[in-house]
A and B are shown apart, each in its own frame.
Chain A
């Protein structure tokens, strides 16, 4: 029965990946081959019930930019020599658009960023030697469709002049409803050393983001999505195993989730593969026919790191919203007073 279920799941998985990703299995396999040292095969560890073991605490911090610098054309990977030189240049503070410095970039107001663990000499590029996280010859996110630009511009325009009217006018991240770093797909940054803890139980894989304790408990039994009328900020994630890879399919997003301007038709497929003892390769493909004319894919190696994973109680300590709104009301009152004089 287990074998039949497995066979069914595998067949189902293969069909889903071909249908949804538009990728042939051969193409889908290629990143894993590239990540493994040539001529060596590496078998990932297994949990006691025999599934590939992805467990641990992982970080996706990387300097590799999402999109490829223009000068690099179709070059998808640096050579080892180029990669070593680039890494050395970064450590000396000489960086161009080959590196996305995130919060460590030069700012007018200078914090001591080392206090926050933002140390440029310790920051590193994705070990895959990719020139950009977006894969493929183009290496960039496809241009946004006109209807999506219009949709997003209208939303911005609607809020313009009302940004401080109420909590409803503030971004989801300020309200601790959906922090930027807990959004899926997971887009890494150079310094937001966001921890992801993976825990596996029979039939489930759990992904815990340290940021805002966001937890996805993903069933891996091949079940279907919840009904379409149930819309969720983080969408509805269901998973299955394809060989050693965990494939997670997510739909049912809200129209407020907006990943890089996407709408509620956003469809996300994430693939997690343990490619080395200290590496889980995370590869995602997003598609949304109301936002981009084609699906696009990015890949980032996640590196094993140390805990503890702290409790990130965002809402409980949120004095930002009340301070911002209170400030706006005080400013209005002062304005009214002046006008009255």
Chain B
């Protein structure tokens, strides 16, 4: 009897805690009564430079001086550490030492998930009933999130295969079948084709979302790890994404050495 009372007490305590932890904010609803995440969003941090905390540093292009040096940031990894396996930790260091040469962002390659979210460019969520589309300004990347019964990827791809569902206020997206070519940031953080990402987009006010991504990759990391950051709505009138077809900005790097040399007289 006493035990039951105590248990009941614990139960109500747990319920109270759950209430206390539940998101205080309830998002406006779409016409089909789902949290409305439509809008143009952007991260406002330095995660694309380095997911982990970092001090400011000289940029890679000396001639650009202070205009393109590395801005400092506190980092977005929960618990600070990215749990690399030993061999992967070595590879990350090599990547970091050669990032300008190796980083797929420099080559205008599709950025993959989660990096697409915190690249320093806006993206737009277009919310339909059976699917949700996310269109990114960088490289014209795009994802279609299936909101019906989960389906399997027909093939591996740069942006992966996304199945989503709602958990209360949160859009939860399960991302699989990404290839091993994308990175997480300009600090050389990388993954294998075993990458599994679970994203959560949770409204936290009319114009902000909380973005969380749990990252799992048994070939690269010793345990799952998580990043978290706010996303901000572009509230300016008639805000819109423009074309950022960056292929032409990468061509000299990729093909410049194959130009015809000025012929000798």
A residues in contact (CB < 8 Å) with B: 47-50, 55, 162, 164-168, 175-178, 197, 199-204, 206, 208, 212-215, 217, 219, 223, 226, 230, 232-234, 308-311, 313, 315-316, 321-322, 325-326, 328-329, 332
Please measure, in the bound complex, the distance between the C-alpha atom of A234 and the C-alpha atom of B255, giving whole angstroms: 24
Is B32 an interface position by the 8 A CB rule?
yes
B243: chain A residues within 8 A (beta carbon): 232-234
B residues in contact (CB < 8 Å) with A: 30-32, 36, 38, 108-110, 124-129, 131, 133, 135, 139-142, 144, 151, 154-155, 157-159, 181, 238, 240-243, 245, 247-248, 250-251, 254-255, 258-260
Please measure, in the bound complex, the distance between the C-alpha atom of A310 and the C-alpha atom of B144, giving whole angstroms: 10
B108 contacts A199, C-beta separation under 8 Å: no
B135 contacts A322, C-beta separation under 8 Å: no
B155 contacts A201, C-beta separation under 8 Å: no
Query: Given known contacts A168-B251, A217-B124, what 17 new A-B pairs fall within 8 Å (CB)?
Result: A48-B31, A164-B260, A166-B258, A175-B248, A175-B251, A178-B245, A208-B133, A212-B140, A213-B142, A217-B240, A226-B240, A233-B245, A308-B154, A310-B154, A315-B139, A321-B255, A322-B255
B158 contacts A219, C-beta separation under 8 Å: no
| Interface of B (DSSP majority class) | loop
Taking A167-B255, A201-B126 as contacts, is the C-beta distance between A316 and B154 under 8 angstroms? no
Closest to A55 in B: B128
| Interchain Cβ contacts within 8 Å, total number | 123
Please measure, in the bound complex, the distance between the C-alpha atom of A49 and the C-alpha atom of B127, giving whole angstroms: 12
A213 contacts B141, C-beta separation under 8 Å: yes
B263 CB to closest chain A CB (Å) equals 8
Closest to A198 in B: B128
A197 contacts B109, C-beta separation under 8 Å: no
A176 contacts B247, C-beta separation under 8 Å: yes
B127 contacts A201, C-beta separation under 8 Å: yes
Please measure, in the bound complex, the distance between the C-alpha atom of A64 and the C-alpha atom of B181, giving whole angstroms: 41
A230 contacts B242, C-beta separation under 8 Å: yes
A162 CB to closest chain B CB (Å) equals 8
